[in-house]
């Protein structure tokens, strides 16, 4: 199957990336990260989450982030909204779009949101209805779509009705999350095949973690299946606080480097992206999770 000519990167570093860091990040740093990502050419940035700081302290101050960023024309600044209070806060902060989420297994749903899958769907439907009434676009996430830390492997056929429910409630797109990074390319193809029985391929995105080092291979498999939206995180930031052992999201730099090699358009300046990843990892005092960034930064350092 031929590969797509263009791929959209959905950058999740400022939210899904930072929320799993132990160090708290100040508002100015969060704002700088979002603005640098936009300057690098990324057109959709998940910039925060309106969740209680009691549960996710790293996301405290999302109002300040959205209120401070210098918004660039043509860039979508998205936020995760887990409940109605979160949605109200997001609306007040004038976010560009919001995201709702459900889980693929009962155990993960209970551990993550203290509700059943059915209750999660019902809650997301109410949030989506309210967001659409405010003129906001809504994106849907399905967590642990490839495997669950509590229940093990997830059958691909279980995902189709969940994705259908999200689309039918009004989500413009469903992002399938391999939250613990256990999928392989064959698994990804089975997942896309199954979900595509209920949801058009152009409404499916992939959100892949690199725990087992399979993320790029999985993305390539998804591209072969016609997927054109990939979630990724600058410098490979992130993980999953409810999935023990899960490492970061696939690094945006690695994805862009691969897309460059495939001749697939994406509109992102790799050098600026690498500089952005270097900026945030230095602020966090952690290693850069992108192999591409580490190699290119070392190359530039030796050349100078």
Which residues are part of the catalytic machinery?
A: 240
**Residue 265 DSSP label:** B
Nearest one of 222, 158, 217 to 188, comparing CA atoms:
222
Q: By the 8 A CB rule, do 67 and 93 touch?
A: yes
CA distances from 46 to 148, 161, 165, 300 (A): 24, 26, 23, 30
How far apart are the C-alpha atoms of 146 and 13, rounded to whole Å?
21
How far apart are the C-alpha atoms of 262 and 224, rounded to whole Å?
12
How far apart are the C-alpha atoms of 120 and 124, rounded to whole Å?
6
Q: By the 8 A CB rule, do 215 and 208 touch?
A: yes
**Residue 233 DSSP label:** B
The residue with tokens 């256990």 is 182
Phi, psi torsion values for 136, nearest 5 degrees: -90, 145
């Amino acid at each position: 199957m031929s590969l797509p000519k263009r791929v959209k990167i959905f950058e999740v570093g400022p939210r899904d990336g930072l929320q799993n860091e132990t160090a708290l990040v100040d508002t100015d740093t969060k704002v700088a990260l979002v603005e640098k990502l936009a300057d690098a050419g990324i057109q959709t940035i998940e910039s925060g989450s309106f969740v209680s700081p009691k549960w996710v302290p790293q996301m405290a101050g999302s109002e300040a982030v959205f209120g401070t960023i210098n918004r660039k024309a043509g860039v979508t600044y998205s936020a995760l909204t887990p409940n109605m209070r979160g949605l109200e806060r997001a609306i007040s902060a004038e976010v560009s779009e919001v995201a709702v989420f459900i889980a693929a297994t009962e155990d993960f749903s209970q551990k993550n949101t203290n509700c059943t899958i059915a209750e999660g769907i019902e809650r997301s439907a109410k949030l989506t209805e309210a967001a659409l009434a405010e003129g906001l676009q809504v994106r849907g996430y399905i967590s642990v779509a490839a495997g669950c830390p509590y229940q093990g492997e997830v059958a691909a056929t279980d995902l189709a009705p969940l994705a259908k429910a999200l689309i039918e409630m009004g989500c413009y797109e469903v992002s399938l999350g391999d939250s613990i990074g256990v999928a392989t390319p064959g698994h990804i193809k089975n997942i896309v095949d199954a979900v595509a029985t209920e949801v058009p391929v152009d409404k499916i995105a992939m959100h892949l973690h690199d725990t087992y080092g399979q993320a790029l291979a999985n993305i390539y498999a998804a591209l072969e299946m016609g997927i054109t939206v990939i979630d990724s995180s600058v410098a490979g930031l992130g993980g999953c606080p409810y999935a023990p052992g899960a490492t970061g999201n696939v690094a945006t730099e690695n994805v862009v480097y691969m897309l460059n090699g495939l001749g697939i358009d994406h509109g992102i300046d790799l050098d600026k992206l690498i500089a952005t990843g270097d900026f945030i990892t230095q602020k966090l005092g952690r290693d850069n999770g992108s192999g591409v960034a580490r190699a290119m930064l070392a190359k530039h350092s030796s050349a100078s």
